Amino acid sequence: MLRIPCPWCGLRDESEFRYRGDATSPRPPADAGLDAFNAYVYQRDNLRGWHTEWWLHVAGCRKLLKIVRHTLTHEIRSVEAATAASSTEPVR
Amino acid sequence: MKPPPHSRRRAPLTHRVAGGRYSFWRLLREGLRGQRGWSRAWAKASPRPRYRVVIVGGGGHGLSTAFHLAAEHGINDVAVLERGPIGLGNVGRNTTIIRSNYFHPDNIRFYELSLRLWERLERQLNFNAMVSQRGTLNLFHTEAQRDLFTRRANQMRLLGVDARAVDRAEVGRLVPLADLDNGRYPVLGGFLQPRGGTVRHDAVAWGYARAASAAGVDIVEHCEVEGLRIENGRVTGVDTPRGFIAADTVCLAVAGHSSVLAAMAGVKLPIETHVLQAFVSEPVKPLLDVVLTYGAGHFYVSQSDKGGLVFGGAIDGYNTYGQRGALPMVEEVTAAAVTLLPALARLKVLRQWGGVMDMTMDGSPIISKTPIEGLILNGGWCYGGFKAIPAGGLTTAHLIAHGVPHPAAAHLDLGRFASGRTLDERGVGPFPYLH
Q: Tell me the ipTM for this assembly.
A: 0.92
Q: What is the pLDDT of residue B13?
A: 47
- Report domain extents, chain B: 31-96+201-269+362-434, 131-197+272-360
Backbone angles phi, psi at B250, to 5 degrees: -120, 125
Is B273 in contact with A48 (Cβ distance < 8 A)? Answer: yes
Q: What is the pLDDT of residue A86?
A: 53
pLDDT one-digit tens code per residue, B330-384: 999 999 999 999 999 999 999 999 999 999 999 999 999 999 999 999 999 998 8
Is A46 in contact with B272 (Cβ distance < 8 A)? Answer: yes
Cα–Cα distance for residue pair B235/B227, rounded to 1 Å: 11
The architecture CATH gives domain B31-96+201-269+362-434: 3-Layer(bba) Sandwich (3.50)
Rg (CA), chain A: 14
Q: What share of chain B is helix, strand, coil (3-state, %, to 5)?
A: 30, 25, 45
Q: Considering only alpha carbons, which residue of chain A is nearest residue B273?
A: A46
H or E element, residue B112: helix B105-119
Q: How confident is the model at residue B256 (pLDDT cuts 50, 70, 90)?
A: very high
Q: For chain B, how far is it from start to end, CA to CA, in angstroms?
A: 35
CB-CB neighbors (< 8 A) of A53 in chain B: 318-319
User: Given CA atoms B335, B337, B342, B345 in this order, what sign does their dihedral have?
Assistant: negative
Axis-axis angle for helices B389-402, B201-214 (nearest 10): 30
Is B322 in contact with A15 (Cβ distance < 8 A)? Answer: no
| Domain boundaries A3-24+34-81, CATH class | alpha beta
Q: How confident is the model at residue A34 (pLDDT cuts 50, 70, 90)?
A: very high
Cα–Cα distance for residue pair B287/B302, rounded to 1 Å: 10
B296 DSSP 8-state letter:
S
Q: Which fold has domain B131-197+272-360?
A: D-Amino Acid Oxidase; Chain A, domain 2 (3.30.9)
CB-CB neighbors (< 8 A) of A19 in chain B: 317-318, 433
- How many degrees, rounded to 5, is the angle at CA A57 between CA B330 and CA B317? 35
Q: Does B9 have pLDDT greater than 50?
A: no
Q: What is the pLDDT of residue B58?
A: 96
Is B328 in contact with A1 (Cβ distance < 8 A)? Answer: yes
Residue B188 in contact with residue B146, Cβ under 8 Å?
yes
- Which whole-number Å values give the CA distances from B271 to A73, B120, B379, B415, in the listed order? 20, 32, 9, 14
| Cβ-based interface (< 8 Å): residues of B facing A | 257, 259-260, 263, 268-273, 317-322, 326-328, 361, 417-418, 430-433
Q: What is the mean pLDDT of residues B164-171?
A: 96
Is A38 in contact with B418 (Cβ distance < 8 A)? Answer: yes
Q: Does B11 have pLDDT greater than 60?
A: no
pLDDT one-digit tens code per residue, B20-60: 889 999 999 999 999 988 989 999 999 999 999 999 999 99
Residue B120 in contact with residue B171, Cβ under 8 Å?
no
Q: Which of B258, B273, B320, B421 is the best mutation test for A, with the most CBs of A within 10 A?
A: B320
Q: Does B390 have pLDDT greater than 50?
A: yes
Minimal Cα–Cα distance from A11 to chain B, Å? 16
3-state class of B81 per DSSP?
A: strand
Minimal Cα–Cα distance from A53 to chain B, Å? 9
Q: What is the pLDDT of residue A91?
A: 46
- Report domain extents, chain A: 3-24+34-81
Lowest mean pLDDT among A84-88, B36-40, B257-261, B325-329: A84-88
